[in-house]
Amino acid sequence: MLMHLVHTLTWEEESVFLLLLKEAQMKKQLKDVAMHIVALAPKYLDESEVPADVLEHEKKVLTEQALNEGKPANIVEKMIVGRINKFLEEITVVKQKFVKDDSFTVEKFVASKGGKLAKFVRYEVGEGIEKKEDNFAEEVMSQVNASK
């Protein structure tokens, strides 16, 4: 039986998260995963969602760092593979170590409960709201000039 379970979590009135799981009937575990997303703020669900330009930029930065350390080119290639994997563990939710039990990745934790992480959307309070920036000095001068 395929079932979609949607969970919205507000935490400390700073962030709201929406998590969608397939084939899951687990409200507590769903809340745990949502809280994991609140705490670790992953940017992507999995490696397939990471834009190629983000990976290329990271590879370039890591390559420059390794070469500046004086590492040989053949060693640099192997180092980059490992460091890119570590980078992906940090930015993709499925590869992150689960906060409540770091013997699992989030993907393995959800799978162990009979679910599959299909999508998450992360909202942060104030995100997308542009704040009007006022120049107080200019405002005062305009009022002074207007009163003359």
Do 47 and 88 meet the contact criterion of CB atoms below 8 Å apart?
yes
With the C-alpha atoms ordered 70, 73, 75, 77, is the resulting torsion angle positive or negative?
A: positive
pLDDT at res. 5: 42
Asked if 95 and 110 count as a contact pair (C-beta separation under 8 A), the reply is no
Per-residue pLDDT of the chain (148 residues; tens, 9 = 90+): 333 444 454 444 444 444 555 444 567 787 788 888 888 889 999 999 999 999 999 999 999 998 898 888 888 888 999 999 999 999 999 999 999 999 999 999 988 887 778 888 777 776 666 667 777 788 888 888 887 7
